[in-house]
Amino acid sequence: MPYATARWIDQNNRSHTWSGEVASHDREQIKTQIRSQTGAKEVIIQSVRG
């Protein structure tokens, strides 16, 4: 299973890190997954491995 690292921005413009297993290498799908888990306003993918 692919593993991704990302940074996400919350509604107060604070930056947070995120990492974990993802269902696909598709970066748009990964962004959608992170938004649904965190409520992120913006997601920046840093890497996708595996």
Give the model confidence (pLDDT) of 1-49 as tens digits. Answer: 999 999 999 999 999 999 999 999 999 999 999 999 999 999 999 999 9
d(CA 18, CA 47): 11
- Whole-angstrom distance between the N-terminal and C-terminal Cα of the chain? 7
In Å, what is the CA distance from 36 to each residue of 29, 39, 43, 48, 50? 11, 6, 11, 18, 22
Enter the pTM of the model: 0.89
d(CA 11, CA 49): 28
